[in-house]
A and B are shown apart, each in its own frame.
Chain A
Amino acid sequence: NAGVTQTPKFQVLKTGQSMTLQCAQDMNHEYMSWYRQDPGMGLRLIHYSVGAGITDQGEVPNGYNVSRSTTEDFPLRLLSAAPSQTSVYFCASSFLAGDNEQFFGPGTRLTVL
């Protein structure tokens, strides 16, 4: 099993550009989520999904869209990148609910100029 994979590992964008961060898991987990990590602020939940076709907002959803068309994939779209979205982004998955053990991907380091 590859676990949770994320691409790309690094990305530099200009303000206003859009892009999609990819996340995939091969553990047949129902629950997937996206976090951003900023210094001193821990991990903040952006969006999450309890299963294919179902998504919901987390703590900091503005400026981000998600979709869950399959159990395996949960892409995160930045609609119009802003410098405030410079961060490290982690995708995570768990077997069922959000309060189960989370398996994290390796992260994507995003810089918006």
Chain B
Amino acid sequence: GQQVMQIPQYQHVQEGEDFTTYCNSSTTLSNIQWYKQRPGGHPVFLIQLVKSGEVKKQKRLTFQFGEAKKNSSLHITATQTTDVGTYFCAGDGGNKLVFGAGTILRVKS
């Protein structure tokens, strides 16, 4: 079945450093979504990318969708303590979403 791989599994950064998580699908996707889960919380939708090569920004967060629509990345510029949590990508698998394992981000202040 379809698989969505996400790396790294875990990253610990100093406040102010940048952070990137990468997502790769075994199949071509029609769209990809990103979610954030704060510690002890539930996943919250961040964004959906649909077009090949698409780049979207939300303040310090930059999301990219690869040209082949099989990979994506989330980049956070100048991390803050409020960025801590787990970031998930999710690719469409027919009529359902297939989630990556997530990247846990910890920020040292």
Stretch from A21-29, A35-43, A63-71 forming part of the interface with B = A35-43
- Whether B92 sits at the interface, judged by CB under 8 Å, is yes
Of A40, A90, A92, the residue contacting B101 (CB under 8 A) is: A40
Binary contact readout A42-85 vs B (1 if CB under 8 angstroms, 0 otherwise): 11110010100000101100000000000000000000000000
> A58–B33 contact, CB under 8 A?
no
Q: Most chain-A Cβ atoms within 10 A of its Cβ — which of B6, B35, B97?
A: B97
Binary contact readout B68-100 vs A (1 if CB under 8 angstroms, 0 otherwise): 000000000000000000001010111111111
Query: Chain A residue with minimal CB distance to B33?
Result: A101
Count of residues in A whose CB is under 8 Å from the partner chain: 26
Q: In the complex, which residues of chain A have a beta carbon less than 8 angstroms from the beta carbon of B45?
A: 101-103
Binary contact readout A97-113 vs B (1 if CB under 8 angstroms, 0 otherwise): 11101111111000000
Q: In the complex, which residues of chain B have a beta carbon less than 8 angstroms from the beta carbon of A41?
A: 101
> A102–B95 contact, CB under 8 A?
no
Of B9, B43, B48, the residue contacting A90 (CB under 8 A) is: B43
Chain A's nearest CB lies how many Å from the CB of B47? 9
Q: In the complex, which residues of chain B have a beta carbon less than 8 angstroms from the beta carbon of A44?
A: 99
Query: Chain A residue with minimal CB distance to B46?
Result: A101
> A33–B42 contact, CB under 8 A?
no
Of B9, B42, B48, B101, the residue contacting A104 (CB under 8 A) is: B42
A87–B88 Cα distance when bound, in Å, is: 18
Chain B's nearest CB lies how many Å from the CB of A45? 6
Extra contacts, 8 of them, besides A41-B101, A59-B98, A98-B93 (Cβ < 8 A), are A48-B96, A90-B43, A92-B43, A98-B92, A99-B92, A99-B97, A103-B45, A104-B43
Partner-B contacts on A (CB < 8 A):
31, 33, 35, 40-45, 48, 50, 56, 58-59, 90, 92, 97-99, 101-107
Q: What would 12 A/B residue contacts be, using CB atoms closer than 8 Å?
A: A33-B96, A41-B101, A42-B101, A43-B43, A59-B1, A92-B43, A98-B93, A98-B94, A102-B35, A104-B43, A104-B44, A106-B42
